[in-house]
């Protein structure tokens, strides 16, 4: 058979009774880049496995998870709107999930238990560190008070970074701060700033983290209430949005010469733990997978 014949008639991927299965549960879930990323790693390491999107309607989560477990899946990622349901269904909750109050990774253990992990916070930190930035000490200004904000706040506090939380709805910021203070290790390292009064806070921060959807493609209109002219030259500006990779916040920060960290690396780094748990290999975060995802995202933006 010639090369042209092989390209015209590629060898089908073999999925058999021993193929390790995992996936991502969400509603909707067609937009998820996790299948692209995990299946790239499976091919890269020659692992007999498959990772699939699993669209599950609200209200059907528990039934779906028990069915996947019974069918021999190794586990799943969990995305909107099922993270609270995932937190409730687990038998064993990892410290990462307890600290963040959320679960984005389920592992079906050999003893029949369902284990729950949160990888968002450590994925965020790993991404920042991959940019050559030490995450230790100092203070971070965290914009937003949702699930991602809680996971990131917990991981920053674990590394000795004090956290100031600001959210458009002040009550949610105070709820998150109280939840973080419930851990004796956090103590006085958490405080709250008013959404419209960040000018007095930013000069004392070494890191700014946007966890809101402001700046996301198709997200809410408007700007973040942050004047980067007030920042010190050492400020690191992070945005967990990755569509587009260069948000308005990051463009403004780059124009002022500030160090910037976009959200694509967080997506990649948070996926490592699940892949390791399900498929037995710790994938190396190399430029190939980032290039693959970046090209796919650019296709969506166009």
b (16+ CB within 10 A) / e for 263-287: bbbbbbbbbbbbbebbbebebebee
The torsion defined by the Cα of 25, 28, 30 and 33, in degrees rounded to 10, comes to: -60
Q: Do 211 and 143 contact (CB within 8 A), yes or no?
A: yes
Tokens standing for 31?
Answer: 């937009």
Residue with token string 């006085």: 188
Q: Tell me the C-alpha distance between 118 and 122, whole Å.
A: 8
Decide if 83 is catalytic: yes
Q: Two tokens at 157?
A: 């506090």
How many Cα atoms within 13 Å fall on the side-chain side of residue 168? 11
CA–CA distance, 249 with 238 (Å, rounded to integer)? 9
> Given 38, 82, 83, 150, which residue is catalytic?
83
- Report, in angstroms and rounded to the nearest whole number, the Rg of the chain calculated over CA atoms: 20
| C-alpha count within 13 angstroms, C-beta hemisphere, residue 301 | 14
| Chain centre to alpha carbon of residue 100 | 12
Query: Which of helix, strand or coil describes residue 173?
Result: helix
Active site residues: 83
């Amino acid at each position: 058979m010639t090369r042209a014949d092989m390209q015209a008639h590629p060898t089908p991927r073999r999925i058999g009774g021993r193929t390790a299965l995992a996936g991502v549960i969400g509603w909707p879930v067609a937009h998820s880049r996790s299948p692209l990323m995990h299946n790239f790693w499976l091919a890269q390491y020659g692992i007999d496995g498959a990772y699939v999107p699993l669209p599950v309607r609200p209200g059907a989560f528990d039934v779906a998870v028990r069915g996947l477990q019974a069918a021999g899946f190794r586990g799943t990622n969990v995305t909107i709107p099922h993270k609270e349901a995932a937190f409730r269904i687990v038998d064993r909750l990892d410290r990462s999930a307890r600290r963040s109050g959320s679960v984005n990774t389920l592992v079906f253990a050999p003893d029949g238990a369902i284990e729950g992990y949160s990888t968002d916070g450590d994925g965020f930190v790993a991404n920042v560190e991959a940019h050559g930035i030490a995450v230790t000490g100092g203070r971070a200004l965290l914009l937003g008070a949702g699930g991602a904000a809680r996971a990131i706040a917990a991981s920053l506090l674990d590394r000795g970074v004090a956290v100031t939380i600001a959210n458009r709805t002040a009550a949610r910021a105070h709820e998150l701060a109280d939840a973080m203070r419930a851990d004796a290790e956090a103590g006085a390292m958490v405080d709250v700033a008013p959404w419209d009064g960040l000018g007095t806070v930013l000069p004392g921060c070494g890191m700014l983290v946007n966890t809101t959807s402001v700046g996301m493609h198709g997200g809410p209109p408007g700007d973040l209430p942050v004047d980067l002219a007030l920042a010190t030259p050492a400020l690191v500006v992070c945005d967990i949005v990755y569509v587009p990779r260069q948000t308005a916040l990051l463009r403004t920060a780059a124009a002022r010469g500030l160090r910037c960290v976009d959200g694509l690396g967080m997506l990649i780094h948070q996926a490592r733990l699940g892949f390791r748990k399900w498929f037995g290999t710790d994938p190396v975060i190399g430029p190939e997978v980032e290039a693959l995802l970046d090209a796919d995202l650019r296709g969506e933006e166009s």
